[in-house]
Amino acid sequence: MELFSSDFFSALLAIVVIDLVLAGDNAIVIAMAARSLPKHLQKKAILWGAVGAIVVRSAMTLLVVYLLQIPGLMLIGGLLLVFFAYRLLCPTDSNDEHGQASTTFWSASLL
């Protein structure tokens, strides 16, 4: 698929529409953030929060469409998913039944 072709834009539009439909949780988070504001600022906060969410999601969608064109990236992502699924399904060797608490991002991702 060539960049800036009609196929590219139709696929991009389909991804954006699906992404926006599935993003209902944004409305909940924006409403919770705006609930403690004065009434005259709530509508502005909700409007700008929704616009910001759409802009960020659209930009990230464009980035993902670009990244998916890199050969082997989906294979690497699939292998990482298999690794994380295996780690989640296999019992840990720790004697603690709740597992260990992580203190850094990397240790949390490798538990």
* pLDDT, tens only, 66-87: 888 899 998 999 999 999 999 8
Token pair, residue 43, equals 């509508």
The mean per-residue pLDDT over the stretch 105-110 comes to 63
Does the CA dihedral 88-93-97-100 come out positive or negative? negative
CA distance 98 to 87: 15
Spans of all domains in the chain: 6-93+101-110
Mean pLDDT (the chain) is 81
pLDDT in tens, 3-48: 778 888 888 888 888 877 777 777 788 888 888 888 888 889 888 8
Region of 72 (left: φ > 0; alpha: ψ -120 to 50; beta: rest) is left
If we measure between CA atoms, which residue out of 65, 51, 52, 49 comes closest to residue 16? Answer: 65
Q: How far apart are the first and last CA of the chain?
A: 39
Exposed, middle or buried, 54 (CB in 10 Å: 0-12/13-18/19+)?
middle
pLDDT at 82: 96
Angle at 30 between CA 9 and CA 108, to 5 degrees: 85
